Structure 1
Amino acid sequence: MTETLLTPEDGKPLPLLGILGLSKPEGFDWDKIRAIQFERFSHIGFMRVIANVLGIILVAQIHYLAVPMALLASWVVGSLLAIIGNALVTRARQRKGGRNNFEISSGAAKGIAAGGVISGLSWSVPILLFSQYGTVDQHSATWTIIAALMVGSSMILSTMPLGAVLFAMIVGVASTFSFILTNQFVMASAAICLMFILIAACLETARDYLSYRLSVHGLNEKSEVVSLLLREFEESGADWLWQIDPSRRVSHVSPRFAYALGRTVDEVEGHSLLELIAGTSWETGKFHSSLHDLAEKLKRRESFSNLMVRVHIGEKIRWWELSASPKLDDNGVFLGFRGVGSDVTEQRESAEKIAHMARYDTLTGLPNRLHITEATDKAMRDSEKWRQRSAFLMIDLDRFKTVNDTLGHLVGDRLLAQVSQRLNALMTKNEMCGRLGGDEFAVLIKEVPDTSYIQNLSQKIIEALSGPYEVDQHTVFVGASIGSAIAPRDGRTVEMLVRNADLALYRSKDEGGNKHHGYEPKLHMHAEERRIMEIALRKALANDEFTLNFQPIVRAEREEICGFEVLLRWHNPELGHVSPAKFIPLAEDARLIVPIGRWVLENACKEAMNWPVDTKLSVNVSAGQLSDPNFMTILIEALSSSGLPPQRLDIEVTESIFLHEGTMAIDVLDKILSLGVGLSLDDFGTGYSSLGYLRKTRFTNIKIDRSFVQGAARDVPESLAIVRAVVALADSLGMSTTAEGVEDEAEARRLTDLGCKKIQGYYYGRPMPADEASQLFTLQQRKSA
């Protein structure tokens, strides 16, 4: 990891052991610090040599006659050689690193310290040995020279303090010991005090010098960075520098700033900044609010950053982002402003577009769920503040899925666009409509005078949306179901209000659609009951709570059982017997119908194997099961595992599968027929286009709805006509007919006379368990006998 070169501004003093080179505490780049020390040391090397040579000459002159010549000459030669050698080594290191070298190894630092030790030992010789030959005055003169060298060394070598400290310690100790030997105790005390003073002064000088150099080094680095940034900034085409004087007139105009204004430098220099960017509003005085903000900042002499300002450049409106701070001289006199600016028009337009996309639906242009939610929250807060009411309407299109499946999603999208136009045309300032997603829309009523207002608006919406649409040469019809909730009565939060409107919408759709219902507390109870039932239904298969009942289907002429329709029953320990009218739609919504349908199909086929070989099984299949991609696999496995021949199985479907699944249902039904399985169209005549379905799919049986059966039994002309027509149509297409819901002998006889081949209803038997169904065959055999 790279160490950080700290400066005195960090508030952390340089450690002495680090300065001496005895350790490398963390937080500092010690190689760079050593380089700074050595740089100074190398510059004063010549002065050090001169000082030592002069000292040697003076000491030699003082002791020329007193000290033996051999000893004196040896000391002089040795000292000179040491000084010259140390100087040559230092010079060689300087040449090796180059003049601009700012790094030095730890070995070089130790070599300089060793030079200080050698120099100290060299100067200890005259103070210790020469004193034995000379007089006290000569001894004092020698110590004076050495003391001067100690002082000079502490100053000269302070950049590399370890060498100076070692030199002072060696010479100081030697001087003290020499004065003690000659009984000069006062001088000995002075020598030891001088040694400590010089060591302390050397260390403090070294620390101050390094702190100063580090500060300069840091400032130089910052200055270089600032210069680079300014150079890069000036070279960039995105931003510019600007400057104004105390009168708010532009000064020192940069070419890029003039280009941003669409003028030359001469046309900008000395002109008012506000006048240059205000455009025609400068004459009228009707400034944009952003210009007022800028003028107020300049008036108060406040620094500002990223201030968005709308400016006029020629005939165009642009957006600038400005930052600036006031300039003051050394005496605190205001000199104007200096700052930077950039043209952010494209970025602002992109941001506005993104913000619009985040709050508006891209397909219809209406407010989306987020926008509607925010508006509803504001309306509810206003309602609470002013003690009034607001309302939320949930709108769901009826039969929209049929349009998507039959005509394609592109037509569906264009239909949604037309729906949004009709819906928006009904809105006043008191309402706001939006698209929540898919075919769900919403209307916010900001102020509700009375409940009839909601009812009237809902009726207008239903009528407007139910009219015919012309989409790509197709005439399309859809309806609208609406649920409403009033705030604060039906909810004091947006989430609660929307949820309750949704509950009311479910009630409208459950009743056939194209209706409006307001929220009622019992709807919440119904939703809670539905939630509890769904939880129980999810565990019903695993807990073996389902059973199968079978209702007989008889041949009309001979009144013989020819088959059974299987019916699912559910008994829950807590809920008791639950009606299929309740749990079957719930299973569809909860996506449980596929596993439940698999269970019914498998167990019913196994039970049918206990019946006579000519008895057929009818199983109801929902749209949710047919839409399952694995349905054919499930059907084949049920037949295979039970051994039931395909010809003995009839699949019953209602006309609703064509509304929900479109062409997909037709493909699945064709595959079912290809297996040899029969197809029955249940509740025939109650849908939208039954004849078209008969043309598209080869059904084997048509089941006439109970409503027509009862009408025909009572000789209602319309019912009679419909039953006769259905029977005639089935005969011509080679299909069989089954009359549903026959409850007495008169109805049975009447439907037989009308030509129905099969009859099903309470008259011949209610839905019964499997064992009771099997007993019917025994009773039938006895009657035949």
Structure 2
Amino acid sequence: MRFAHLLGLRDGDDAAHWARIRSAQLDAGRQLALLMLGANLLGAAATVSLFARQVPGLWLGGWALLVGTVAVAVAIRRLGTRHRDGGYASQSDLRATAGEGVALAIAWAMPCLVFTQPGSNSAYVLWMILSVLMTAGAVAMAPLALATIAFLGGLGLSVTIKLVMNGSFAAAGATTVFTVMLIAICLNRARSLVVIRVGQMALAERDETVSLLLREFEETNADWLWETDAARRVVRASPRFAYACGLDPVTIEGMPFLQVLAGPSWETGDFAPGLRHLADKLKTRESFRDLRLSLNVEGQERWWELAASPRFDENGSFCGFRGVGSDVTEQRASDDKINRMARFDTLTGLPNRLMVNETLARAMSEADKWGGRCAFMMIDLDRFKAVNDTLGHPVGDRLLSRVAERLGQLMNDNTNCGRLGGDEFAVVMRDATDTRAVESLAQRIIETLSRPYEVDAHTLYIGASVGLAIGPRDGRTAEMLIRSADLALYRAKDAGRGVYHAYEPELHVQAEERRVLEMALRQALDKGEMHLHYQPVVDAATGSLTGFEALLRWHSPQFGDVSPAKFIPLAEEARLIQPIGEWVLRTACAEAARWPAPTRVAVNVSADQLQNPGFVAVVTSALAESGLSVERLELEVTESVFMHEGLGATKTLERILDLGVRLSLDDFGTGYSSLGYLSRTRFSSIKIDRSFVQGASKGVKEAIAIIRAVVALAQSLGMATTAEGVETEAEHHMVQDLGCTKVQGYYFGRPLPVEEARAVASRRWDETVAA
């Protein structure tokens, strides 16, 4: 703190802060104004008495009047100041007090300079009066340091000058030292007063802030303060605390704190765990926070959160607890809601994957503890994707809700169901010691979920496949058991869906083989392990060659010749079908360009390829690079592509047809047959699956009827029909009699390597037969 700030000559960094300090200085000066007035009047009276016989009465009376006037004026000025402690004062307000000190110094310098005579006894007495007056001024005027310096300095300088003029140099030096000491004491006291005032201001601000916070805290509906004595009785109960307890402050005062919180259960002793935990904390005199407990307040369950610390007196003796409480009922309800959202499926209301995993983990822990068994079932809905694709996701969501309702009706105290995501559900059975009961539940789930559903005026038919695993036999952890059930579900779907399958150890072996096979498949193209065979397609009436169907083959150094029935589904699942399919298309077009016209080549296209917006560009590029004319390329698709109609498969086919490429519908009648597909898409031919050909050759009436119906339908739509799987001459004559226009099968040729196919294409088929 600099003296320039103290004297009001400069402002500190915080102008408002120093303005308040200056106001406090002026207020302190006002409080001591009467003391200074009394000192002046008594000093004047003593001086008049001292010089009554030495100084003319007129002079002495005039001086006395001057001193009295100045002293009264200064007192009136001090008492009449508008500044108060806690207010604000400017620098000019503090500087103006210097004039008061100067006026008093001039008034009191006159007796010393005018009335005294050198060597007289009155000079010594006057000096004593002035010393007392200066000391009184240093005390009374200390808060106003600038005024005090002006008064002491002016009066001391006058006395020193007088003594020097009289030749009393030692007395003059002593006077100077005395004056400087008084000024120093005055400044130090003024500084101490300012420091004290600054501390008081800081404390006042803190107290005000704390009072404000406490007031706001007490006024908050859900928060309150509480306090107990050493006997754990409530003391100084706040109105908010009493209101939160449903009691009045008078009743609650002096009651045991635990009794207040226990409410009706105090008599029965049926305390909540949180209350017992609180009792332990109070008993051990430990600080605590975030302690939650449930209370019954006026018949309603409320949740409180408490925090407190023990209190000790100056002797270190325990005297109770003081703490804060909050009503967190709404917060807990919100937490419960968030927790439910995190663990329950919002669509079906069933436990979600997280909750299912936690339930399974607990079931496995109990089974391991008691030496029992638990079961986990993974459920996949069959044909659900068709509902989503054809009727839309809103209908699909409502269907999932119906599935959840039916699944929930099958549950009991021993079982819990949940939704894993999409169209996958799960069931956890805590006690699975009865294997028959587990299998019976799996069968009932399939039967219940396979019954028709009525959703938005639609009758929907779906099914369910179930994979089940028993723990800890099929997995020591929840993750392992889920993996085992997933493998069992995969086997159930492979078995034709609509069935359940239990986990078997060899499923892990097969899964590992499948993983290794997928890794090899990812590198097959780059390593040149893929090649094409070509199976002849002939005219049913003449037996002449019309084209070949390109069939993909894979010879792996690790696995040998891998069946297309094995690696094609794997390629589709692993998202490898698009690059493989593009390679097949480009290779087949390049080979067909070597054959004599008009020999065609047919290439199978998957639904995944048609979902690719760039597939049309791939077809165009393959034709351009090979030089094959568009009418010699035929793309074969199965009915499954139309289940992806919402993904643009039909539009892709239309763009391909616009190029002039022929389109064939393969395996007609074995999938999701719909005559609407034939009317919307310009197919050039329909291929009749070999299962119908074989059935017709054995005299199955249904198979014969289906072939005749397909042929009649194709003829009416201007399409050709190709019978697949013709292996004997009798089958050839049969499909010829039924009206099929083209034939394909082992009777006319197995799939041929590229060199043999090229040789067959270079000569007429009838010549090949004759040879």
TM-score tier (shorter)? 0.7 to 0.9
Q: Report the counterpart of residue 706 of structure 1 in structure 2.
A: 690
Q: Report the counterpart of residue 429 of structure 2 in structure 1.
A: 445
Match of 1:502 among 477, 486, 491: 486
Indicate if the aligned counterparts of 1:465 and 1:480 stay in contact, CA closer than 8 A: yes
Question: What's the offset of the Cα at 1:654?
Answer: 1.5
Please report the TM-score for the alignment, with normalisation by the length of structure 2.
0.73
Question: What's the offset of the Cα at 1:381?
Answer: 2.7
> What code does the residue aligned with 2:441 have?
L
For 1:541-580, list aligned pairs within 5 A: 550-568=534-552, 580=564
Q: Report the counterpart of residue 668 of structure 2 in structure 1.
A: 684
Q: Which moved more, 1:175-184 or 1:385-394?
A: 175-184
CA distance in 2, matches of 1:266, 1:596: 86
1:468-501 C-alpha deviation (Å, 9 max, x unpaired): 4444554433222222344445444434433443
Q: Report the counterpart of residue 7 of structure 1 in structure 2.
A: none
Distance 1:35 1:607, change over 3 A: farther
For 1:457-476, list aligned pairs within 5 A: 457-472=441-456, 474-476=458-460
Structure 1: tracts of 5 or more residues without a match: 1-13
2:21 is the alignment partner of 1:33 = yes
Question: What's the offset of the Cα at 1:393?
Answer: 1.8
2:382 is the alignment partner of 1:394 = no
Q: Which moved more, 1:479-488 or 1:539-548?
A: 539-548
CA distance in 2, matches of 1:503, 1:594: 26
Match of 1:734 among 712, 718, 734: 718
Q: Report the counterpart of residue 367 of structure 2 in structure 1.
A: 383
> What code does the residue aligned with 1:102 have?
G
Question: What's the offset of the Cα at 1:171?
Answer: 7.7
Question: What's the offset of the Cα at 1:398?
Answer: 0.8
CA distance in 2, matches of 1:615, 1:68: 154
Indicate if the aligned counterparts of 2:347 and 2:401 stay in contact, CA closer than 8 A: yes
For 1:306-345, list aligned pairs within 5 A: 311=296, 317=300, 319=302
> What code does the residue aligned with 2:462 have?
V
Q: Report the counterpart of residue 208 of structure 1 in structure 2.
A: 196
Distance 1:456 1:23, change over 3 A: same
> What code does the residue aligned with 2:24 have?
I
Q: Report the counterpart of residue 423 of structure 1 in structure 2.
A: 407
Indicate if the aligned counterparts of 2:378 and 2:489 stay in contact, CA closer than 8 A: yes
2:735 is the alignment partner of 1:764 = no
Q: Report the counterpart of residue 87 of structure 2 in structure 1.
A: 102
Indicate if the aligned counterparts of 2:726 and 2:744 stay in contact, CA closer than 8 A: yes
Distance 1:637 1:479, change over 3 A: same
CA distance in 2, matches of 1:749, 1:680: 23
SS of residue in 2 equivalent to 1:373: helix
Q: Which moved more, 1:546-555 or 1:120-129?
A: 120-129
SS of residue in 2 equivalent to 1:388: coil
> What code does the residue aligned with 1:445 have?
M
Indicate if the aligned counterparts of 1:127 and 1:174 stay in contact, CA closer than 8 A: no
Q: Please, what is the CA RMSD of the aligned residues?
A: 6.2
Q: Report the counterpart of residue 624 of structure 1 in structure 2.
A: 608
Question: What's the offset of the Cα at 1:378?
Answer: 1.9
Question: What's the offset of the Cα at 1:294?
Answer: 12
1:84-114 C-alpha deviation (Å, 9 max, x unpaired): 998899899x55xx768722345555665x6
Q: Report the counterpart of residue 345 of structure 2 in structure 1.
A: 361
Question: What's the offset of the Cα at 1:503?
Answer: 3.5
For 1:206-285, list aligned pairs within 5 A: 206-220=194-208, 222-223=210-211, 226=214
SS of residue in 2 equivalent to 1:449: coil
CA distance in 2, matches of 1:767, 1:72: 149
2:140 is the alignment partner of 1:152 = no
Question: What's the offset of the Cα at 1:681?
Answer: 1.9
Q: Report the counterpart of residue 413 of structure 1 in structure 2.
A: 397
Question: What's the offset of the Cα at 1:372?
Answer: 1.6
Question: What's the offset of the Cα at 1:379?
Answer: 2.0
SS of residue in 1 equivalent to 2:466: strand
Question: What's the offset of the Cα at 1:399?
Answer: 0.8
Indicate if the aligned counterparts of 1:390 and 1:448 stay in contact, CA closer than 8 A: yes
Distance 1:358 1:663, change over 3 A: closer
Q: Which moved more, 1:14-23 or 1:758-767?
A: 14-23
Please report the TM-score for the alignment, with normalisation by the length of structure 1.
0.72
Indicate if the aligned counterparts of 1:390 and 1:487 stay in contact, CA closer than 8 A: yes
Distance 1:147 1:720, change over 3 A: same
Distance 1:442 1:53, change over 3 A: same
CA distance in 2, matches of 1:44, 1:464: 100
Question: What's the offset of the Cα at 1:649?
Answer: 3.6
2:422 is the alignment partner of 1:434 = no
Question: What's the offset of the Cα at 1:613?
Answer: 4.8
Structure 2: tracts of 5 or more residues without a match: none
1:126-149 C-alpha deviation (Å, 9 max, x unpaired): 899899963486565455445445
Q: Report the counterpart of residue 182 of structure 1 in structure 2.
A: 170
> What code does the residue aligned with 1:37 have?
Q
Question: What's the offset of the Cα at 1:276?
Answer: 12
For 1:577-726, list aligned pairs within 5 A: 580-594=564-578, 597=581, 601=585, 604=588, 608=592, 611-628=595-612, 647-659=631-643, 661=645, 676-687=660-671, 689=673, 699-709=683-693, 723=707, 726=710
Q: Which moved more, 1:445-454 or 1:365-374?
A: 445-454
Distance 1:741 1:437, change over 3 A: same
Q: Report the counterpart of residue 5 of structure 1 in structure 2.
A: none
Question: What's the offset of the Cα at 1:74?
Answer: 14
1:434-456 C-alpha deviation (Å, 9 max, x unpaired): 11222110011223326665444
Q: Report the counterpart of residue 479 of structure 1 in structure 2.
A: 463
> What code does the residue aligned with 1:483 have?
G
Indicate if the aligned counterparts of 1:311 and 1:319 stay in contact, CA closer than 8 A: yes
Distance 1:397 1:144, change over 3 A: farther
Distance 1:374 1:81, change over 3 A: farther
CA distance in 2, matches of 1:359, 1:513: 29
Indicate if the aligned counterparts of 2:310 and 2:322 stay in contact, CA closer than 8 A: yes
Indicate if the aligned counterparts of 1:309 and 1:319 stay in contact, CA closer than 8 A: yes
For 1:296-307, list aligned pairs within 5 A: none
Indicate if the aligned counterparts of 2:533 and 2:752 stay in contact, CA closer than 8 A: yes
1:529-575 C-alpha deviation (Å, 9 max, x unpaired): 65666677778889998766654433234443323334456789999
1:188-218 C-alpha deviation (Å, 9 max, x unpaired): 8777666655554443344234423543454
Distance 1:66 1:531, change over 3 A: farther
> What code does the residue aligned with 1:182 have?
A
Question: What's the offset of the Cα at 1:286?
Answer: 9.1
Distance 1:523 1:154, change over 3 A: farther
> What code does the residue aligned with 1:389 have?
R
Q: Percent identity?
A: 42
> What code does the residue aligned with 2:88 have?
E
SS of residue in 1 equivalent to 2:749: coil
SS of residue in 2 equivalent to 1:182: helix
CA distance in 1, matches of 2:734, 2:633: 28
CA distance in 2, matches of 1:467, 1:229: 61
Indicate if the aligned counterparts of 1:79 and 1:122 stay in contact, CA closer than 8 A: no
